[in-house]
Amino acid sequence: MDLIYRYDPFAPISPRQIPTAEAAVDNLLEGNARFIELVRRMQRHTLDQTNQEPIIVPISPIAMGLPLYEGAVLTQAPFAVVLGCSDARVPTEQIFDQSFNDLFVLRIAGNVLGSECLGSLHYAVKALGESLKVVVVLGHSKCGAVTAAVDTYLSPEGYADIAYTFPLRSLVDQIQIAVRGASRSLEQYAPIFQHNPDLHRSFLVAVTAYINSSITALELQRELKLRVKNPPQVKFGIYDFDSLRVQALPLESSAPPQLRDAPSSPEDLCQYSNEVVEALFNLPDEERDSCRLTIKL
């Protein structure tokens, strides 16, 4: 299968137009859909090599956020801030199929908030506010930081190495409130987990990833409202390894990508936590099983 990047210097130049938060979110979700389609086409080709149709991707320096001529330097003008996890399997620009100068990216293990992270965000909102339309918190499934937080919650005695290492502990501690929220929402299904602690751990990690992102989004929205006039909207979601999709609830495989507004209150957050668990248990068995922790983290 050929993947061809084609630049036509005589094609009309159309600079990026993202005037609103809705347009920014649409751009991110459409980019994620393009990324999924590209990966799926390559995977289909692996199984069926008779389909030789090439994929042609039109490119131009302008569309890529690069200068048209040597020596020119563009002004920084991202349309979104994305706070994501440091996990090497979750490269922000590729997942959203975005290019240079599109995203202002902050990556911290477990996508938790710290003072330097907030400082970077304030800089982005104050200095780049003209182009910036949305802030996105992006967690991901099977997150190592979330798994460490879940494991310290389930069996604290086994995690002295984390407890006595301040930087690690401060990171894991920040996720604990999400773990407790997820655990409470899963209580109604306790009989299912009674003889299967591994399944309980897997589901706790899966649900906590959503809750952790939503808590960070809530905190960020509050922080921005306190400090910035006309703050940008904060959205959140997680990147799911199985579907390759950005989503704010466990979804069936055919559903399109989605992001969700930051919760506006702790009550809103509790309701969301229950909604995640309900959506997870409404999935067909084989899709729900994909959240099992089958890989070593």
Return the number of the residue (82 or 143) whose C-beta is nearest Zn ion. Answer: 143
Q: Report, in Å, the least distance between residue 147 CB and Zn ion.
A: 9
Pairing of strands 55-58, 3-6: parallel
- Residue 80: Cβ-neighbour burial (10 angstroms; 0-12, 13-18, 19+): buried
Return the number of the residue (43 or 94) whose C-beta is nearest Zn ion. Answer: 94
Q: Report, in Å, the least distance between residue 169 CB and Zn ion.
A: 17
Q: Report, in Å, the least distance between residue 125 CB and Zn ion.
A: 24
Phi and psi (nearest 5°) for 235?
-120, 165
Q: Which residues bind Zn ion (CB under 5 A)?
A: 85, 87, 143
Q: Report, in Å, the least distance between residue 212 CB and Zn ion.
A: 9
Return the number of the residue (81 or 83) whose C-beta is nearest Zn ion. Answer: 83
Return the number of the residue (143 or 269) whose C-beta is nearest Zn ion. Answer: 143
Return the number of the residue (185 or 212) whose C-beta is nearest Zn ion. Answer: 212
- Residue 235 and residue 261 in contact, taking contact as beta carbons nearer than 8 Å: yes
Return the number of the residue (24 or 148) whose C-beta is nearest Zn ion. Answer: 148
Q: How many CA atoms lie within 13 A of 32 on its CB side?
A: 24
- Residue 220: Cβ-neighbour burial (10 angstroms; 0-12, 13-18, 19+): buried
Q: Report, in Å, the least distance between residue 61 CB and Zn ion.
A: 33
Q: Report, in Å, the least distance between residue 167 CB and Zn ion.
A: 16
Return the number of the residue (132 or 179) whose C-beta is nearest Zn ion. Answer: 179
Q: Report, in Å, the least distance between residue 108 CB and Zn ion.
A: 9
- Cα–Cα distance, 212 to 214 (Å, whole number): 5
Cα→Cα distances 260→29, 90, 135, 136, Å: 11, 19, 11, 9
Cα→Cα distances 67→5, 183, 269, Å: 18, 50, 43
- Cα–Cα distance, 147 to 189 (Å, whole number): 20
Listed in sequence order, the residues at least 6 apart from 50 whose beta carbon sits closer than 8 Å to its beta carbon are: none
